[in-house]
Amino acid sequence: MNDLRAEARTVTGRVKWFDPGKGFGFIVDQEGGPDILLHANVLRNFGQGSVADNAGITVVVQATPRGAQAVEVIEIVPPEAEGRPAPIEDLGETDPEALAALPLEPARVKWFDKGKGFGFANVWGRPEDVFIHIEVLRRSGFADLAAGEAVCLRVIEGRRGRMAAQVVAWDMALSR
């Protein structure tokens, strides 16, 4: 029997597109070559249900009869903003280091509507909802969130209440 792991290689590239509804997407290898299939199960094993288009990604890839396929996600880096990103209301020009210093709060997604561009989560042990803006989600490397999904949030007090300043995959929060 072939040892498939021995034939695997690590690839760094960009997410070409990912559709959580279809359950897959594709990665473009920075070294060139054919697109690499990224299945939702591989992404979920990393702790995320979606990934933003153009996000940086490092994966372990195997050659299969159908082409290159990601078998493990090692790292996801949120997409770089083109030019200077527009400030998000209530976040303003918040310093990234100040945001990174905020504690991670465990939360469960109440609902998120990509079409509306926002949703809410409940932080465990707190009664109020936390607002999640789609741009914060994108800057965190996600494309969408599903109701009931477990995440960790860095939260600030906005003019209208608590809002997410960063979303982190539940599984990845342990290593941060």
At residue 34, the 3 state secondary structure works out as: coil
- Token pair in block for residue 129: 């909802």
Distance CA 113, CA 49 (A): 14
Which pLDDT does position 81 carry in this prediction?
62
- Token pair in block for residue 30: 């920075």
Does this model's pTM top 0.75?
no
Mean pLDDT across 39-63: 92
CATH, domain 4-77, list 2.30.110.10, 3.30.10.20, 2.40.50.140, 2.30.42.10:
2.40.50.140
Q: What is the pLDDT of residues 152-175, one digit of tens each?
A: 999 998 888 899 999 998 876 555
Distance CA 152, CA 107 (A): 6
Same fold, 4-77 and 96-173: yes
- Is the confidence at residue 94, as pLDDT, over 80? no
What integer best gives the mean pLDDT of the chain? 86
Q: Which CATH fold topology does 96-173 show?
A: OB fold (Dihydrolipoamide Acetyltransferase, E2P) (2.40.50)
Percent of the chain with pLDDT over 90: 55
Residue 38 backbone dihedrals phi, psi, to 5 degrees: -120, 110
Give the side-chain half-sphere CA count within 13 A for 10.
5
- For the chain, what are the domain ranges? 4-77, 96-173
Q: What is the dihedral of CA 85, 129, 48, 168, to 10 degrees?
A: 60
- Is the confidence at residue 110, as pLDDT, over 90? yes
Q: pLDDT higher for 29 or 92?
A: 29
